[in-house]
Amino acid sequence: MPAVQIAFDFDCAEPRRARPPARVGSFLAGIGEAVRARVTGVTRTPTTRASAAAPAESSETSQASPARAHLESALRGALDTPLRLTITDNRRTMISLRKRPDFTEIRLHHMFLTADAATVAALGRYVGGSDRAAGALLGRYIEGHRERIRRRVSRSLHLSTSGIHHDLCGIYADVNTRYFAGQVDAAISWGRSAGGKRRRSRRSIKLGSYCSRDRLIRVHPSLDAEFVPRFFLEYIVYHEMLHHVLPPAIRNGRRLLHDREFKQKERLFDDYALSLRWERENLDRLLGR
């Protein structure tokens, strides 16, 4: 039998509500600082026969309690094999289920010990048959209790915004004001250069990136060149700001970074067509830097 797992990405900061900006419209209303919690899909792995005892539980939840007993009772009623339940303090995987030949192993975040009756019932439906509607309800429950998920320790970041030809701070501030009513609060930096190392000829280049964990936009240092127009850098920064305010969509278990909504918002950039044409005409030049 396969193993089934629901995973939710919580390597991001607590979401804050923001007013809708004037230019982009209502899509910014109520945005999070980074990627909102979404079901990232179902993974299936081969089953192996287990001979070891159930994993040790966290100290917070190892003691028997009426809440745990109620949860175990509800889950046992949805399964056709014995249950081994482990309560965890995981940061990423809130629910995991593995069906073994002789028993079913379920790992749940401790937030479910205080779940309401509807959520417990949804857990039973999900573990019993991977019910999609139940999975959606569980996702909303986890989103509403994200303050109980242990936070990741922030790492220090080295930011560099002053280039030889372009200043990212000025570009960021201008794009933020014009398109997002100043509501975007991500950091920005030039990416790391190759440092003079010899490299084979590149066939592709990633001109910008956004890291939701660090709320950081990075711009490829090859764009810090005199021949690169400011409007194109503004387009790259605008594109990455959209990633900051629009969480990835999930379709059939796949994360879509550039779904239909994203592409519609991207076209709101004033020099969208001009930027795409400039990129096509100068791609070889950028690859050669």
pLDDT digit string, tens, across residues 91-106: 778 888 888 888 888 9
What confidence score (pLDDT) does residue 94 get? 85
What confidence score (pLDDT) does residue 286 get? 85
Provide the domain limits for residue 174: 168-287
Least confident of 37-46, 173-182, 208-217, 247-256: 37-46
Which of 96, 116, 148 corresponds to the end of one domain? Answer: 148
Note whether residue 159 is domain-resident: no
What confidence score (pLDDT) does residue 218 get? 92
Decide: residue 162, CB within 10 A, 0-12 exposed, 13-18 middle, 19+ buried: exposed
Q: Are residues 183 and 102 in the same domain?
A: no
Q: Which two tokens stand for residue 243?
A: 């990633």
Position 132 pLDDT exceeds 70: yes
Q: Are residues 8 and 144 in the same domain?
A: yes
CA torsion 20-24-25-28 (nearest 10°) is -40
Note whether residue 187 is domain-resident: yes
Position 150 pLDDT exceeds 70: yes
* Residues linked to residue 251 through DSSP beta bridges, in sequence order: 254
What confidence score (pLDDT) does residue 252 get? 62
CA 97 to chain centroid, in Å, comes to: 22
Q: Are residues 34 and 141 in the same domain?
A: yes
Crossing angle for the helix pair 117-129 and 66-76, nearest 10 degrees?
40
Plot region of 90 (φ>0 → left; ψ -120 to 50 → alpha; else → beta): beta
Position 8 pLDDT exceeds 50: no
Q: Which residue has the higher pLDDT, 100 or 45?
A: 100
What confidence score (pLDDT) does residue 230 get? 96
Q: What is the pLDDT of residues 251-284, one digit of tens each?
A: 665 677 888 889 999 999 999 999 999 999 998 8
Q: Which two tokens stand for residue 141?
A: 């429950």
Note whether residue 153 is domain-resident: no
Which of 94, 115, 148 corresponds to the end of one domain? Answer: 148
Tally of domains within the chain: 2
Q: How far apart are CA 93 and CA 11, in angstroms?
A: 11
Q: What is the pLDDT of residues 226-239, one digit of tens each?
A: 999 999 999 999 99
What confidence score (pLDDT) does residue 63 get? 42
Position 209 pLDDT exceeds 80: yes
Q: What average pLDDT does the segment 126-130 reach? A: 78
